[in-house]
Amino acid sequence: MLAARFHGDRRVTIEQFPDPEIQKPDECLVRVMACGICGSDKRLFLGDEPTEEIMGHEMAGEIIAVGDGVSRLRVGDRVVVFNLITCGQCAYCAQGRFTYCTDKQGSVNGGYGELLVAPERNLWPLPDDISYERGCLFSDVLGTPHKALRLAGVGEGDTVVVFGCGPIGLAVAQIAVARGARVMSVDMIDYRLEAAARMGAEVTVNAEREDPTERAFAWTKLGADFAFDCTGDPSALLSALETVRPGGRTTLVGANQGMQFNPWQCLSSRDVMLGGTWYLHLEDYYECLRLYRTTAVDPLRILTHQVPLEDIARGFELFCDHKDGCLKVVVLVGLR
């Protein structure tokens, strides 16, 4: 099969790899149709280390073979692939809250290749009327923001400040509006702020030209009910903490790897809650499907570019360098 190999320093080649094979009774062989380029994948392109593994984790495809122990799915089924491999036995797995699994066992990658193998429990049905290009964005791109908003408790009439207008931040804005909230979006790139306005953001702030905290208090009077940091930037998280009202809640969605702050000043003295969230649960996937059918929530509102597998390097260049108004890129694998 064909797949992308990342060599580091912006060099990607399309090479022949051995076809993966089913090794366990509960596994399925999937033909990848489409895979999104995730912000966490930028390191593959921009880093200086080669990657031997076939990467890509925002994928949808078609089942072409099943193991002897597979009972729910059949050859020909259309599926979205859930990235995290869990034990499938603990109480959390039984509830579909897979990110809480007590015995995580790796991840399913391979979206930047033509075929992959995944456990049956990692394959979620994709309705026939939802395209693969749209469907591959229902896991991470919609599901992760939905889980963040659900756990925070955002609802009708709440004020929400979203830091970062990449795909995740834009999806947070979309879903927050669908839940009845008012949204202010913050970024440093004007075309991404324009996109946030299209998603329903009532206020947009370029943080290079204006103080988000001052603007948030001018907008809300008391401070926002909720803030979401979708950047992973420590300075953005500090601003998010400062932006919420006393008793408000800030949620860390971006992959912040470390920072220093004063817990008394930022949290305790104002009864501010700080929480974090990662990826999605099964209920978030199905709720995103419902929102797509009943509201304006749609991941294709974020998608700006589609490239064939052979042109994946150009897709990464557009995404990483913010070229041509790029917001989100989907790699067409089996669809090319």
| CATH number for the domain harbouring residue 188 | 3.40.50.720
Residue 294 falls within a domain, yes or no? no
Q: Do residues 131 and 209 share a domain?
A: no
With respect to residue 283, please indicate whether it lies within any of the assigned structural domains. no
Indicate if 159 and 129 belong to the same structural domain.
Answer: no
Same domain, 220 and 260: yes
Judge whether 327 lies within some domain.
yes
172: in domain: yes
Q: Are residues 311 and 204 both part of a single domain?
A: no
Q: Which of 276, 294, 321 is the last residue of a domain?
A: 276
49 and 23 fall within a common domain: yes
List the structure tokens of 254.
Answer: 């971006």
Per-residue pLDDT at 38: 97
Average pLDDT over residues 153-157: 98
pLDDT digits (tens, 9 = 90+) for 236-288: 999 999 999 999 999 999 777 777 777 878 788 899 999 999 999 999 999 99
Mean pLDDT of 103-123: 97
pLDDT, residue 85, reads: 97
* CATH classification of the domain holding 52: 3.90.180.10
Asked whether 287 and 265 are in contact (CB, 8 A), the reply is no
User: In total, how many domains does the chain have?
Assistant: 2
Q: CB under 8 Å, gap of 24 or more: what pairs does 208-216 form? A: 212/161, 212/163, 212/184, 212/186, 212/239, 212/243, 213/239, 213/242, 213/243, 215/184, 216/161, 216/184, 216/243
Q: Which domain holds residue 157?
A: 151-276
Say if CB 320 and CB 24 are below 8 A apart: no
Better-scored residue on pLDDT, 22 or 234: 22
User: Does 164 share its domain with 62?
Assistant: no
pLDDT band at 336 (very low <50, low <70, confident <90, very high): low
Which tens digit of pLDDT belongs to each residue from 56-102?
A: 999 999 999 999 999 999 999 999 999 999 999 999 999 999 999 99
Please indicate, yes or no, if residue 176 is contained in any of the structural domains.
yes
Average pLDDT, the chain: 96
pLDDT digits (tens, 9 = 90+) for 288-304: 999 999 999 999 999 99
β-strand partners of 231: none
Residue-level pLDDT at 257: 72
Q: Which residue has the higher pLDDT, 266 or 190?
A: 190
The answer to whether 233 and 207 are in contact (CB under 8 A) is: no
CB environment 134-155: b (16+ within 10 A), e (fewer): bbbbbbbbbbbbbbbbbebebe
| Residue-level pLDDT at 335 | 84
- Segment 188-196 shows an average pLDDT of 98
pLDDT band at 33 (very low <50, low <70, confident <90, very high): very high
* CA distance linking residue 199 with residue 153, whole number of Å: 20
Determine, yes or no, domain membership for 296: no
177 domain-assigned: yes
Residue 193 has pLDDT above 90, yes or no: yes
Is there a domain that residue 58 lies in?
yes
pLDDT mean over 157-168: 98
CB 265 within 8 A of CB 246: no
Q: Does position 310 have pLDDT exceeding 90, yes or no?
A: yes
